[in-house]
Amino acid sequence: MSSLVAELEDAARIGADEDGVSRFAWTPELAQANEWLLARLDALGLETEVDAAGNVIGRWEEGEGTAVLVGSHLDTVPRGGRFDGALGVLSALESVRSLRQEGVALKRPLWVVSFNDEEGSRFQTGMLGSRAFVGDLDLDDWRKRGVDAAMSAAGFDFERLPEARAVDRVGAYLELHIEQGPVLEQKGIDIGIVTGIAGMLGFRVRLIGEANHAGTTPMAVRRDALAGAARVVLALREEALKRGDITANVGVLTVTPGGFNVIPGVAEFTIDVRAGEPDAFSSLDDLVLETLERVAGDEQLGLEVSETHRKPPTPLDSGLQDLLAESAAEAGASVCRMPSGAGHDAMVLAKRVPAAMLFVPSRRGISHSPEEFTAPEHCELGSRVLVRAVRRLVTKPGG
Ligand code: GLV
Ligand code: MN
Ligand code: MN
């Protein structure tokens, strides 16, 4: 078994139970995974740091100019898989290991990163670590979500988040990731070069009806908050199916008071809508708000809605895409260009530095699930392509 595959298995034990892997920002499980990574970065002789935002960074400081940054994340969704994020971090580690073994002299520094809170599982906003790394802070919003308390419970200081900004010393970002969709497997292609990342927009919604007796209240006069939420779920799904250029998901729903014989008085839920093209992305606000207002009006429900995140569609760097495609061809891999429907830290980095990503196939396209799986051969091939691209970048002088 290769060191990459062995390390993927090893890391997957941290925060795992029979239902999947759960590691969230500033929890003991993610701290344990970070310690595990730090030990490996140390063993490779890198300068290590957990920065003010909880990002784990290993620096190979050699050569001059800006660094090449390579990595992904070790946090997960609730009951997630073993590859989402971990593959990118561990293949970045593998790049350092390979270049050390080859005795390559760097013309510019090479940094490995594991960004904190990519998934947003704990605070429903996401990419907090990479946003702090590029200096894109939203401190008021993060405080409202309780990030300050979570950080201090974990021994971090919210006020020091601005110190995590280090993007000014970086000149390029590369990330290997599993595809998390079915395209590569269906086409029988080894490597996807990501052209751009779909924009993501999120809302938290509260529909307010009236809790009442399930048996005595006439059907025609009920103000059933769950019935309203169900109509919203189906309306968004139908619109997304009809249009084909957007996705829509309600992944969290709670109903109160929650009795089998009580009409639901309040329904709270999240909405995640996405679009790859800027015009389609711009239409998402109206779609969601008009749907909510129409249903709330029809069902005589109160409506409260707040935005949780907004990340516009992000094209990735064409020069780095070409570099990855050439590296894949040299490694003997079949290649295609494709968009990403999933969000990644690369979309945050791409605002400040050239950034690019490569994908390897996901079995049956499944991700954000314990069923997530990528064949060892594809993990290793993706990693070899990454190493080739990194080698080419770090053996040329950095700007
Ligand atoms: C992150 O994995 C996302 O696309 O939600
Ligand atoms: Mn994910
Ligand atoms: Mn990911």
Q: Six-digit token pair at 33?
A: 């995974």
- pLDDT at residue 1 in the model: 80
**396: pLDDT strictly greater than 90:** no
Ligand 1, closest atom to CA 84? 2
345 lines ligand 1 (CB under 6 A): no
Ligand 1, closest atom to CA 367? 2
Q: Could you tell me the distance, in angstroms and rounded to a whole number, from the CA of residue 369 to the centre of ligand 2?
A: 10
**For the chain, give me the number of helices (H) and strands (E)?**
13, 16
Mean predicted confidence (pLDDT) in 242-268: 98
pLDDT category of residue 31 using cuts at 50, 70 and 90? very high
Ligand 1, closest atom to CA 77? 2
Mean predicted confidence (pLDDT) in 70-95: 98
* Mutational test site, ligand 1, from 117, 130, 175, 200, max ligand atoms within 8 Å of CB: 200
Mean model confidence pLDDT for the chain: 97
Higher pLDDT pick, 302 / 398: 302
Contact 97, 15 (CB under 8 A): no
- pLDDT at residue 98 in the model: 97
Strands 199-208 and 170-178: unpaired
Q: Could you tell me the distance, in angstroms and rounded to a whole number, from the CA of residue 119 to the centre of ligand 2?
A: 6
Contact 166, 51 (CB under 8 A): yes
185 lines ligand 1 (CB under 6 A): no
Q: Six-digit token pair at 367?
A: 């991700």
Mean predicted confidence (pLDDT) in 339-368: 98
- pLDDT at residue 269 in the model: 98
Q: Could you tell me the distance, in angstroms and rounded to a whole number, from the CA of residue 216 to the centre of ligand 2?
A: 45
Q: Could you tell me the distance, in angstroms and rounded to a whole number, from the CA of residue 209 to the centre of ligand 3?
A: 37
Q: Could you tell me the distance, in angstroms and rounded to a whole number, from the CA of residue 9 to the centre of ligand 1?
A: 22
Task: Write phi, then psi, for 126 (nearest 5 degrees).
Answer: 90, 155
Q: Could you tell me the distance, in angstroms and rounded to a whole number, from the CA of residue 129 to the centre of ligand 1?
A: 14
Measured by CA distance, the residue closest to atom 1 of ligand 1 is: 343
Q: Which residues contact 9 (CB under 8 A, 6 or more apart)?
A: 82
Task: Write phi, then psi, for 136 (nearest 5 degrees).
Answer: -100, 75
Mean predicted confidence (pLDDT) in 290-294: 98
Tell the burial category of 103 from Cβ atoms under 10 Å away from its Cβ (0-12, 13-18, 19+).
exposed
Q: Which residues contact 183 (CB under 8 A, 6 or more apart)?
A: 189, 192, 336, 338, 365
202 lines ligand 1 (CB under 6 A): no
119 lines ligand 1 (CB under 6 A): yes
Angle between helices 376-394 and 3-12 (to 10 degrees): 110
The single-letter DSSP state of residue 262 is B
Asked if omega into 257 is within 30° of 0 (cis), the reply is yes
307-350 pLDDT per residue, tens: 999 999 999 999 999 999 999 999 999 999 999 999 999 999 99
Contact 383, 9 (CB under 8 A): no
Ligand 1, closest atom to CA 342? 4
pLDDT category of residue 125 using cuts at 50, 70 and 90? confident
342 lines ligand 1 (CB under 6 A): yes
Percent of the chain with pLDDT over 90: 97
Q: Please report which residue ranges of 271-317 form alpha helices under DSSP H.
A: 278-282, 284-298
Q: Which residues contact 38 (CB under 8 A, 6 or more apart)?
A: 48, 50, 56, 58
Mean predicted confidence (pLDDT) in 160-169: 98
Task: Write phi, then psi, for 328 (nearest 5 degrees).
Answer: -65, -45
**140: pLDDT strictly greater than 90:** yes
Q: Could you tell me the distance, in angstroms and rounded to a whole number, from the CA of residue 120 to the centre of ligand 3?
A: 11
Measured by CA distance, the residue closest to atom 5 of ligand 1 is: 343
pLDDT category of residue 124 using cuts at 50, 70 and 90? confident
Task: Write phi, then psi, for 64 (nearest 5 degrees).
Answer: -135, 165
37-66 pLDDT per residue, tens: 999 999 999 999 999 999 999 999 999 999
**399: pLDDT strictly greater than 80:** no
